[in-house]
Amino acid sequence: MRYYQFKKRPTVALSPPLVDTLPPETRLTRRRLRACHECDWVSALPPLGSGEKASCPRCSHTLVKRHRYPAQRSMALAIAAFVALLVAVSFPFVSFNVSGVSNRIELTQTATTLINFHQPLVAIAVIMTIAVLPALYLFGVMWLQYGLLRGRHMPYSRDIARSLAHFLPWMMADVFIIGALVSLIKVAGLAQIHLGISFWAFCIFAILLLKTSQSLDADWMWFSLEGEPLAPEGTLTGTTAAVQGVTGCPTCGLINRLPATGKVRCQRCHETLHQRVPHSLQRTWALLFAATVMYIPANLYPIMTTTSLGSSSPSTIIGGVVQLIQMGSWPVAAVIFIASVIVPVGKLFALAWLCLIAKRSDELKAQSRTRLYRLTEFIGRWSMVDVFVVAILVALIRAGSLMSITPGPAALAFGSVVVLTMLAAMAFDPRLLWDTPPPRPIRHRLNTRFKLATKESVDG
Domain ranges of the chain: 70-227+268-274, 280-436
- Are 70 and 216 spatial neighbours (Cβ–Cβ below 8 Å)? yes
Residues 6+ apart with CB under 8 A from 315: 302, 303, 304, 305, 306, 323, 408
pLDDT at 358 over 80: yes
The pLDDT value given to residue 337? 87
Over range 10-18, report the average pLDDT: 44
Instruction: Determine whether 406 is exposed, middle or buried from the number of CB atoms within 10 Å of its CB (0-12, 13-18, 19+).
Output: buried
* pLDDT-above-90 percentage for the chain: 34
Predicted pLDDT of residue 436: 66
pLDDT in tens, 423-434: 999 999 999 998
CA pair distance 356, 372, nearest whole angstrom = 14
- Pairwise CA distance, residues 385 & 407, whole Å: 15
Say how far apart CA 133 and CA 139 lie, in whole Å: 10
Report residue 131's pLDDT band, with 50, 70 and 90 as the boundaries: very high
399: pLDDT strictly greater than 80: no
Q: Is the pLDDT of residue 444 over 60?
A: no
Give the residue from 77, 227, 225 showing the smallest Cα distance to 148.
Answer: 225
Q: What is the pLDDT averaged over residues 398-427? A: 86
pLDDT of amino acid 347: 93
Predicted local distance difference test score (pLDDT) of residue 351: 94
> pLDDT digit string (tens) for 241-260?
988 889 999 888 899 998 87
- Least confident residue range of 208-217, 263-272, 412-421: 263-272
27-31, 90-94, 218-222: segment of lowest average pLDDT: 27-31
pLDDT at 234 over 50: yes
- The model carries a pTM of 0.85
Q: What is the pLDDT of residue 135?
A: 96
In degrees and rounded to multiples of 5, residue 379 shows phi and psi of -85, -15
- Using left for φ > 0, alpha for ψ between -120 and 50, and beta otherwise, residue 360 falls in alpha
* Residue 348 CB burial class (10 angstroms; 0-12, 13-18, ≥19): buried
Distances in Å between the Cα of 22 and the Cα atoms of 15, 67, 76, 224 are: 12, 11, 20, 11
Q: Is the pLDDT score of 282 beyond 90?
A: yes
**CATH 1.20.140, applies to 280-436:** yes
| Partner residues linked to 304 by β-bridges | 315, 407
pLDDT reading at 4 higher than 50: no
227/256 Cα distance (integer angstroms): 14
Q: Give the three-state DSSP class for 43.
A: strand
Query: Taking all residues of the chain, what is their mean pLDDT, rounded to a whole number?
Result: 83
Q: What pLDDT, on the 0 to 100 scale, is given for residue 367? A: 87
Per-residue confidence (pLDDT) for residue 406, from 0 to 100: 85
- Closest-CA residue to 289 (of 371, 237, 361, 355): 355
Per-residue model confidence as pLDDT tens digits over 103-112? 788 899 889 9
Helices (H), 103-233: 109-116, 120-127, 133-150, 157-167, 173-188, 197-215, 218-226
